[in-house]
Amino acid sequence: MNVALLGATGRTGVLVLDELLMRGHAVRALVRSEGRITPGAAITTVVGDSRDRDTLSELVGGVEAVMSALGPRARDESLHRDTAKALVASMHDAGVRRFVGVSGMGIDVPGDQRSLSAKVAASLVKLVGGAVSRDKQLEYEVFSASDLDWTLARPPRLADGEETGRLEHDARRSTRSTKIRRADLATFLVDVAEQGLYLRQAPFVATARR
């Protein structure tokens, strides 16, 4: 596949990029400045901001799927919703339907079946996350109102470390585990994009306990 990737320089994004390249996909990566990623045979870069329509049009033109591991580096309380609005419009113009991105377990989706502990954890995420958490909820509203084939993964706390290969995920039921390795999340996201899983859904996903 030809894949456009947002957040490719981030801690999860770099792992998504590696996974895509390892599986033989061609990637067009969004970077905020030249030199952050070295272009190669299977990788090209587009320089710009994720909220900029012209940048996104250049990024998504001719790709089969758009993936994102975008996240606010500083206090940027509308990054996700502003990017989602610009991205939906750019993808629509370019005729690209598939989007796979990272949300968080704090967002609410109709039909959710959370355990009591997951309900408490989600309330805490909303309390501590404040405006950023609200921004992710609004991002979800933008994608769900679109006609795209979107998937927004809802991981709990992200952790670094080796890939475990132990994933639990479900469209409605909260996970038992309360964390996920970024490497496991990267594999999950690429699986979802490759296999067309969880269309127009926001699956909970975590690294399963032993």
Phi, psi values for residue 179, rounded to 5°: -150, 165
203 binds ligand NAP, rule: CB under 6 A: no
Distance between CA atoms of residues 70 and 103, nearest Å: 9
Minimum gap (Å) between residue 149 Cβ and ligand NAP: 20
Minimum gap (Å) between residue 128 Cβ and ligand NAP: 11
- Whether residue 151 contacts residue 202, with contact meaning beta carbons closer than 8 Å, is answered with yes
Distance between CA atoms of residues 200 and 210, nearest Å: 30
CA angle 142, 145, 151 (to 5 degrees): 70
Minimum gap (Å) between residue 124 Cβ and ligand NAP: 12
State which residue, 104 or 203, has the beta carbon closest to ligand NAP: 104
Upper half-sphere CA count for residue 122 (Cβ side, 13 Å): 23
State which residue, 80 or 147, has the beta carbon closest to ligand NAP: 80
Minimum gap (Å) between residue 107 Cβ and ligand NAP: 10
Applying CB under 6 A, among 28, 104, 167, 203 the residue interacting with ligand NAP is 104
Contact footprint for ligand NAP (CB under 6 A): 7, 9-13, 30, 32, 49-51, 69-73, 79, 102, 104, 155, 157-158, 182
